A and B are shown apart, each in its own frame.
Chain A
Amino acid sequence: MVAGTPAMTFAIEALNVEKRYGALHALAGVSLAIAEGEFFGLLGPNGAGKTTLISIIAGLVRASAGQVRVMGADVVSDYRRSRRMLGVVPQELVFDPFFSVRETLRLQSGYFGLRSNDAWIDEVMHHLDLVSKADANMRTLSGGMKRRVLVAQALVHRPPVIVLDEPTAGVDVGLRQGLWQFIRRLNRDGHTIVLTTHYLEEAEELCDRIAMLKAGRIVALDSTRNLLETFSGLVLKLRLDRDALPDGLEATQISAEGGRFTLRLRDYNALEQVLHRVRETGAAIKELELEPPDLEDVFLRVMEKH
């Protein structure tokens, strides 16, 4: 999917992007190419540089070095085109207390040069369940409602590339489902989606491909499936008829409690070996449960390794 011809236009292309804040290297050379139509996840612990990278893509912050293009348009020299192509949902819950929801969305359309955009504004409000709040002042909305307005603001100009910086922080389950349904639909309609989140099950479910950032560097970049296969182990829960495990297992013991053991295994070969050793020692298995790999596990391993 990524390995296109050089002439191919990427939705987002970052080349050796660096950002320094004084002595702090917030981004230490990030290169990334996100293809059109991808659903892409940008993960990393607090302070990894996700928001900084997004801000550079959006032209909110200037990179100390490197280049970024959105749909082929350089974010500095061709900013008019790059910004028209991009919709950003900022991480911070910001709003202008002078205006109502509808005014906010109309103003945002106008900033993009769109004068009569009410049909689309109504549709976006409908999908984000904002219709009943259309004339409410922004100040009077709850946090989750304000978040929805932020999402709507990012979509007023129908950008082909949509970047969401933790859009589900502080949002209730109902909206989260609705929001993802809507974003998925946009993705099916051809919009490229870039997402940061600390809810890893969300990323696992939604994203085709994932980049993991740590201390301003990309430490993993692959399809979600490959990441799960390569990095993730299995968690084996075992109950034996005795209180001790056989010696010499190729597994990390996470917990042991009265004949109940939780083990982390690298792969299915390790599972074979555990079962073999248990049989050899003559122990009987009372219960066995195997948990499939998940992204949280991958994430922790990747972060540990780097």
Chain B
Amino acid sequence: MGGFPTLLYKELLRFWKVSFQTVAAPVLTALLYLVVFAYALGDRVRMFEQVSYAQFLVPGLVMMSVLQNAFANSSSSLIQSKVSGNLVFMMLPPISYLEFFGAYVLASMVRGLVVGTGVLLVTVWFVDLHVAAPAWVLLFALLGAAILGALGLIAGIWADRFEQIAAFQNFVILPLTFLSGVFYSIHSLPALWQAASHLNPFFYMIDGFRFGFFGVSDFPPRASLAVVAVSFALLSSACLLLLRSGYKLRQ
């Protein structure tokens, strides 16, 4: 047996040991969003028929937490190992680039799903929610987390300093999630912005995820699934190519 199970275990242990910061904090953040937006806007806004704004918001917040935390896990773990130099302990053993990819992405997915589940468990106390199609919920959550885990790994491979990861988070991940329809249905946007939203891959992740809850969405869910699956295939191929080439990790 190779090093994969241990590397996965180490990655899980790493965020679990500081779960206050890696799980509890993002759950609280999502809850604050819910309180501020849902109660401020209340019943004046309605995105779908039969769906209150608070109900509409919860799946968006859950998915946003899944995505942001999946990204944060792989990117921060790798950059920490690079900056502190302990990456050498994972580079010396006979761990293949596939095992490396698998361990980092899977651990990211677990962190994303744990936080997402946490957000869901906390918010259902405040909002009445039914799940129309659980399989779609799970499928989009898994794929979304995998995509952001792989993206975080790419960012971690590329970056040399913590600030570069922070910049990636603030200037790429955050705008893309906020503008993807977490807080609104894109049908409420002007035509130009609606069209622009369709260029944002995060839109399909959130829209498909939301379909799982309400059975309605802005975009056909199968088409969203196709976009998300292709995004995952492209990103993981790119990441695997980087890892295989040794780019930045094995000069």
Contacts and interface: CB of A to CB of B under 8 A. Distances in A.
Contact of A111 (B6, B13, B250, B251): B6
A86 to B, nearest CB: 8
Given A62-B246, A92-B85, A113-B1, A98 B17 contact: yes
A62 B250 contact: yes
Contacts of B18: 98
A111 B99 CA distance: 11
A111 B90 contact: yes
B251 A110 contact: no
A99 B89 CA distance: 13
B86 A111 contact: no
Nearest to B5: A110
Interface size class, chain A? 20 to 34
B58 to A, nearest CB: 33
A79 B246 CA distance: 13
Interface string A98-122: 1100000001111111010000000
A80 B14 contact: no
Contacts of B95: 111
Contact of A58 (B7, B17, B92, B96): B92
Given A95-B86, A96-B89, A98-B13, A112 B250 contact: no
A191 interface: no
Contacts of B89: 94, 96, 107-108, 111, 153
A107 B94 contact: no
B249 to A, nearest CB: 9
A12 interface: no
Nearest to B95: A111
Interface of B: 1-3, 5-7, 9-10, 13-14, 17-18, 81, 84-86, 88-96, 246, 250-251
B92 A84 contact: no
B17 A111 contact: no
B9 A83 contact: no
A162 to B, nearest CB: 12
27 contacts: A58-B91, A59-B91, A59-B92, A59-B250, A60-B250, A61-B251, A62-B246, A62-B250, A83-B93, A83-B94, A90-B88, A92-B85, A92-B88, A94-B89, A98-B13, A108-B89, A110-B3, A110-B6, A110-B9, A111-B3, A111-B6, A111-B92, A113-B1, A113-B3, A113-B94, A115-B1, A153-B89
Given A96-B81, A111-B3, A111-B7, A83 B92 contact: yes
B6 to A, nearest CB: 3
Nearest to A21: B251
A48 B146 CA distance: 44
Contacts of B84: 94-97
A195 interface: no
A111 B250 CA distance: 18
Given A83-B92, A96-B86, A113-B2, 19 more contacts: A58-B91, A60-B88, A62-B250, A62-B251, A94-B85, A94-B86, A94-B88, A96-B81, A96-B89, A98-B13, A98-B18, A99-B13, A107-B10, A108-B93, A110-B10, A111-B95, A112-B93, A113-B1, A153-B89
B94 A112 contact: yes
B250 A61 contact: yes
Contacts of A62: 246, 250-251
A298 interface: no
A8 B36 CA distance: 74
A72 to B, nearest CB: 15
Contacts of B1: 113, 115
Contacts of B94: 79-81, 83-84, 112-113
Contacts of B81: 96
Nearest to B99: A111
